[in-house]
């Protein structure tokens, strides 16, 4: 990001007469931290109040990030109130395409809706008409799973079960999900579809 901004500022063609400034924060992939930073950006941290034509010097013009969908959702709900544009390079949750909820959110990566549609078509291509589905219990996983289930229904695919868990869940919950999968795998003509994070695996 620093390199890109310096290239823009040093160019006489890209934004002539304009210099971009920046501040970089680490959300640590944490929603509470992302919310705190969003409020800091919205409130402004400069104690000087600018008057006249230079008032924009104290304003945040745009936010780049977050890389995760859940932090991006939290940030967008705050800064979107102030019409501050947010551009993410890696938040793919299909829910962020809803302009009623996230009017100032943009991204440079496709929505998960495309992935869900492609996944359903792949399942149909291989003739897997009866499957089980597991996802990460997060905004990314749950919204991604919802998109996939809709796409699977349109393709005539029967989803036997849909389970969600998170890596910090207690062992008992993870064991319950494992038991559901085990029972399903003991049945005939089965496929296990895993939709967790950015990985899809077929077993």
CATH architecture of 112-202: 3-Layer(aba) Sandwich (3.40)
Contact residues for 2 (Cβ-Cβ < 8 A; gap 6+): 22, 24
pLDDT, tens only, 3-19? 999 999 999 999 999 99
**Rounded average pLDDT over 190-194:** 47
Question: How far apart (Å, rounded) are the C-alpha atoms in residues 74 and 30?
Answer: 10
Q: Is the distance from CB of 181 to CB of 192 less than 8 angstroms?
A: yes
**Rounded average pLDDT over 127-131:** 84
- Any idea where the domains of the chain sit in the sequence? 2-107, 112-202
pLDDT, tens only, 77-107? 999 998 999 999 999 999 999 999 999 999 9
**H helix or E strand, kind and range, residue 77:** helix 69-79
Q: What is the pLDDT of residue 200?
A: 42
CATH architecture of 2-107: 3-Layer(aba) Sandwich (3.40)
pLDDT at 70 over 60: yes
Q: Do domains 2-107 and 112-202 have the same CATH topology?
A: yes
Among 78, 37, 82, smallest CA distance to 61 is for 82
Q: What DSSP state is assigned to residue 155? A: T
b/e for 120-159, b at 16 or more Cβ within 10 A? beebbeeebeebbbbbbbbbbbbbbbbbbbebbeebebeb
Q: Percent of the chain having pLDDT more than 90?
A: 67
Q: What is the pLDDT of residue 118?
A: 94
State if pTM tops 0.85: no
């Amino acid at each position: 990001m620093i390199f890109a901004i310096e290239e823009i500022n040093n160019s006489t063609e890209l934004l002539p007469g304009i210099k971009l400034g920046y501040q970089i924060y680490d959300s640590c992939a944490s929603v509470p931290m992302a919310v705190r930073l969003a409020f800091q950006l919205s409130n402004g941290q400069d104690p000087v109040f600018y008057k006249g034509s230079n008032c924009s010097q104290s304003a945040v013009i745009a936010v780049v990030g977050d890389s995760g969908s859940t932090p991006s959702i939290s940030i967008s709900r705050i800064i979107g109130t102030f019409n501050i544009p947010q551009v993410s390079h890696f938040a793919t949750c299909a829910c962020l395409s809803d302009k009623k909820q996230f009017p100032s959110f943009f991204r440079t990566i496709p929505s998960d809706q495309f992935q869900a549609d492609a996944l359903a078509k792949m399942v149909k291509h291989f003739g897997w008409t009866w499957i089980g589905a597991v996802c990460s219990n997060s905004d990314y996983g749950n919204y991604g799973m919802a998109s996939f289930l809709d796409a699977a229904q349109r393709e005539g695919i029967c989803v036997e079960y849909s389970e969600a868990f998170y890596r910090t869940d207690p062992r008992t919950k993870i064991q319950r999900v494992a038991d559901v999968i085990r029972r399903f795998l003991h049945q005939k003509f089965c496929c296990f579809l895993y939709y967790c994070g950015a990985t899809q695996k077929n077993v």
